[in-house]
Amino acid sequence: MLCAVSAFLIKHNPATMSIQVNMWLTAGTQGANAGIREINLEVGHYFPDMESFNLTDRVDMPCADVKYWVTIVLNESAFQPLVWNYSISLKPSNVSNYVGYVTHSVQVIGTCRLTINIHVEVNGVSRIAESKSQYIELF
């Protein structure tokens, strides 16, 4: 099996794929939420891990203790899944809404399943706010 995988990798070079997850985040007095607006995949370009969020609405009231993070999973059939966790640095102190994105680049070859989860933690209790998944092929 290892020889077959090695021969496959020698014949087919992995491609760099950049993943950009466009999302929205909210922080309220009693809770928080998040959602995926769009997922952009760009092959052949490397972008460093980064985030950018803009405030769209704010109310002068304190919000709950909120944390957000993103999990990106690439599950290839021949290898163990690649898992990347990214903690969003945004720590709202007031009731507010944000839009923005997180980017990550990986080396991929073949067919894999891309799964993106956005997690929200409020006052120490976490949950998956939204999850999206799709198959991708790169040869």
Number of domains present in the structure of the chain: 1
Residues forming a β-bridge with 16 = 107
For the whole model, what pTM was predicted? 0.83
Nearest to 63 by CA among 100, 96, 23, 88: 96
Q: Residue 112 sits in which domain range?
A: 14-138
- Is 128 part of any domain? yes
Q: Is the pLDDT of residue 8 over 80?
A: no
Does residue 9 lie within any of the structural domains?
no
**Does 88 reside within a domain?**
yes
Q: What is the CATH number of the domain that holds 65?
A: 2.60.40
- 5 inside domain: no
Residue 113, in any domain of the structure: yes
- pLDDT tens-digit map of 50-106: 999 999 999 999 999 999 999 999 887 666 788 999 999 988 999 999 999 999 998
